[in-house]
Homo-oligomer: A and B are copies of this chain.
Amino acid sequence: MELLTTIKGVRGLVAEAKAKGKRVGFVPTMGALHDGHISLVKAAREQCDFVVVSIFVNPTQFGPGEDINAYPRPLDNDLTRCKENNVDVVFAPSTEQMYPQKNLSWVEVEKLAEPLCGRNRPTHFRGVTTVCTKLFNIVGPDIAYFGQKDAQQAIVIRRMVEDLNMPLEIIVCPTVREKNGLAMSSRNKYLNDEEKKQATLLYAALQECEVLIAAGMLDSKNLTEEMRKLLALGKDIKIDYISIVNADTIEEIEIVKGKVLVALAAKIGPARLIDNVLLNV
């Protein structure tokens, strides 16, 4: 495995791999790798001949007052996990390497980036789409892998790739969960034991929603009301949003039907956590 910190370096190695006809798989991450990330690496390893993982805590996707400084950066551990999973190249650039001058150029996806997490994090997705564009242009992958846990991110990036004719495929892999149902997230590290216990209510609420829909409750308002009640059991849970939306357009729906995304975000202690389920009703 090669650890590279320069754009030139990673371009060189990928060009060599491509010249040998290798299919390049790419997993962009902010590090603090957990089994969710590793599931993406494994998918890339299975479907591609050359696997690149990037580790970059991207400043442009954090808003003012958000947790960029607190964000965990256990690089040695990340490198060990990449090595164990037969990654070919880890690209871990500095901020200066990625943003050598004030960034003036932004990729924005209208409408899809505005609801849900976009409401309280208005510049978040523009930071994500911009850094993904940069990373795609640097690495030049055939396939890039994202997690379903970040459902809106996956939808926004898919649309960006379509609209801008980016020459790669996006594959979205299922959310990986702890045994207790909590979706794996680098931000789970912020939680103490009590908060972690309460955090399991997030997925419990989503499962409840799924059960209620199966039982015939199709009114979004009633469904979110039930989820709110369940989440109220966690005294430290501050709900940001609970939304039931069309899974393609992210538009709120009143009566559940078709491909539906049930998504929520909540603060629990110092952590803002998100989770979702994708349903076909």
Contacts and interface: CB of A to CB of B under 8 A. Distances in A.
A138 B165 contact: yes
A42 to B, nearest CB: 27
Interface in A94-114: 101, 103-112
A129 B107 CA distance: 10
Contact of A140 (B130, B134, B167): B167
B108 A106 contact: yes
A5 interface: no
Interface residues of A, number: 28
7 contacts: A11-B167, A105-B107, A105-B110, A105-B163, A105-B164, A137-B166, A138-B167
A30 interface: no
Interface in A165-199: 165-167
A160 interface: yes
A112 to B, nearest CB: 6
Interface of A: 7, 11, 101, 103-112, 129-130, 133-134, 137-138, 140, 159-160, 162-167
Given A105-B160, A106-B107, A106-B110, 11 more contacts: A7-B165, A103-B163, A104-B110, A104-B111, A104-B112, A104-B163, A105-B109, A105-B110, A108-B108, A134-B165, A137-B165
Q: Which 8 A-B pairs have the closest CB atoms?
A: A105-B163, A137-B165, A104-B110, A105-B160, A134-B165, A105-B109, A138-B165, A137-B166
Contacts of A101: 162-163
A134 B164 CA distance: 5
A166 B140 CA distance: 10
B105 A108 contact: yes
